Amino acid sequence: MILGCSLVALAGCGADEIVSPGTGGNIIINNPAPTPTPTPTPTPSQTLVTPAAGCPTISTAAGLTDAGTLTGPTGTYRVCRLPATFTSNDTLRYIPGLLYEIRDRVNVGTDQGFASTNTAVTLTVEPGVITYASGSSFLVVNRGNRIAANGTSERPIIWTSRDNVLGLANDNSDQQWGGIVLLGRAPVSDCRTGVFNTAANPTANPTCEGQLEGAAVATPFGGANAADNSGSMRFNQIRFSGFELAPNNELQSLTTGGVGSGTVLENIMSFNSSDDGLEFFGGGFNTRNWAIIGASDDSIDVDTGAIVNMDTVIAVQRSTTGDRLIELDSPNVADRTPSNAIPQTRFQLNNFTFVARAGSPQVVQARGGAAIGLTNGVIRAGTNHCFQIDEPTTLAAIIGVDSVVGNCPATDPVRGGGGVTNAEAAARINAGTNNNLAFTITLTNNVVNGANETAATAFNANTRSTYFPTRTYIGALPDAATFTSLFQSWTCNSATQNFNSPLGACTSLPVFS
């Protein structure tokens, strides 16, 4: 995740990198068990899939490589290995009995440059396609190229691990392959040259860009086009990702770098990422309908000048691992020392439900002068402090916290740090409307509003951003009907969170007709 770090030698990278080091200190605790327990579908005794006859032809000259077959509990599949680089517009077609394999690093196009305006290569992925990888293999959509991975609610696109295909993954498996990296030409604030733009000197570095260092091919990201379009991803599951490339340095399910507002990210599930569920570095866009389940580090990590509005999010930690549910930071010019580098990170989240494991550091941490706005949220906090606000610049930058409830601890539910006292931090959070950090949680099926959540007063988040609808409820899911319509059909089930999905368990593959 560390956008300024080597893919091979990532130790010592900061929060501005594309492979995130996390914060360490995992504490084993117990989450409230979701009910009912999901039943894997199909069962291991069913062999439903027979291999496709061969690999289809694509436009890229290197083509797809027929890598033989792979057999798991759901049957035997033809394996078609992706080329190292897609050099032409191509489509990964859905063909029954066929899997696509990511081997090592797979590129969509090559970098088109900081000031480019063209789109060189678009990779289209059809609904129902399943792509797998293992080890440090990952997919990179390079700057100036696009992905069009648009599944449907009945036929999501699935990115997963070889172990998942073989039936070897369980509800605590993670770190089985790399993940997806999506890069663009929108502004970022952590310039690889070390010369930063500031409000006083906004053109100190007119070509500020980040850099994924150490790869065989230079991989920059960022530019001057806030409206840049890196493509679209709708109805995608990203399972068992986050391979450790170096000690304490891992990829996550989805990492964005310099992605602009023309990009569409909707209805995405991150399942058991060994690092963050998702991480945004710079850029700016709107995104909605996320299920972030079982991340081993932060569920959501936003950094280096990202300006993101996020709507309707479920984040549930595993009982045995997980750090913060939100980690928010801004440019780290001197190892997390607040700076005036621009753009400053600005993150707003509306209609969310967080289920934290007891014992993680805190549910939400903001620092580095980053601006946070939270509206219409439900936090099942366990024993965790609900908020940590570090440094006076971060305290001053708070957009607002309104209609957020949680069963936070009675002692210091809000804490300060880095020159902010607990009392100062608490006063700023409590200045919002309709907040209750001593709330009695009545959630059903772990994430659906119960009687107390239903009775809470909502905030009109549309006044903060026109991207947010005007709603009359807090939390991500006001009732069972919304749970069914928004998430049930395209997700997968686990002991951490049962969606009652017809696609079955996350430890198995769905079989589409």
Measured at the CA of 142, the angle between CA 141 and CA 144, to 5 degrees, comes to 110
How far is Cα 355 from Cα 500, in angstroms, rounded to an integer?
Answer: 18
Average pLDDT, integer, range 208-218: 73
Whether the CB-CB separation of 4 and 210 falls below 8 Å is answered with: yes
How far is Cα 262 from Cα 230, in angstroms, rounded to an integer?
Answer: 7
Q: The tokens of 57 are what?
A: 């032809």
Q: Determine the 3-state secondary structure of 7 from DSSP.
A: coil
How far is Cα 380 from Cα 353, in angstroms, rounded to an integer?
Answer: 8
Q: Residue 1's pLDDT band (boundaries 50, 70, 90)?
A: very low
pLDDT of residue 249: 60
pLDDT of residue 91: 98
Q: Could you tell me which of 449, 238, 354 has the C-alpha nearest to residue 365? A: 354
Q: Which ranges constitute the DSSP H helices of 167-289?
A: none
pLDDT tens profile 450-481: 999 999 999 999 999 999 999 999 999 999 99
**168 Cβ contact list (under 8 Å, min separation 6):** none
Q: The tokens of 125 are what?
A: 């992925």
Return the bridge partners of 315, or none: 292, 354
Whether the CB-CB separation of 348 and 464 falls below 8 Å is answered with: yes
pLDDT tens profile 112-129: 999 999 999 999 999 999
Side-chain half-sphere of 243: how many Cα atoms within 13 Å? 20
Q: Determine the 3-state secondary structure of 267 from DSSP.
A: strand
Whether the CB-CB separation of 87 and 121 falls below 8 Å is answered with: yes
CA 116 to chain centre: 27
pLDDT of residue 384: 86
How far is Cα 463 from Cα 99, in angstroms, rounded to an integer?
Answer: 45
The answer to whether the bond into 42 is cis (omega within 30° of 0) is yes
Q: Lowest mean pLDDT: which of 1-10, 322-331, 407-416?
A: 1-10
Average pLDDT, integer, range 249-269: 93
pLDDT tens profile 285-314: 999 999 999 999 999 999 999 999 999 999
Q: Residue 218's pLDDT band (boundaries 50, 70, 90)?
A: confident
Q: Residue 358's pLDDT band (boundaries 50, 70, 90)?
A: confident
Whether the CB-CB separation of 343 and 368 falls below 8 Å is answered with: no
Q: Which residue has the higher pLDDT, 348 or 320?
A: 348
435: left (phi over 0), alpha (psi -120 to 50) or beta: beta
What is the spatial order of strands in the sheet that 362-366 belongs to? 85-86, 105-108, 138-141, 180-183, 254-257, 278-281, 300-303, 326-328, 362-366, 385-390, 414-417
pLDDT tens profile 63-83: 999 999 999 999 999 999 999
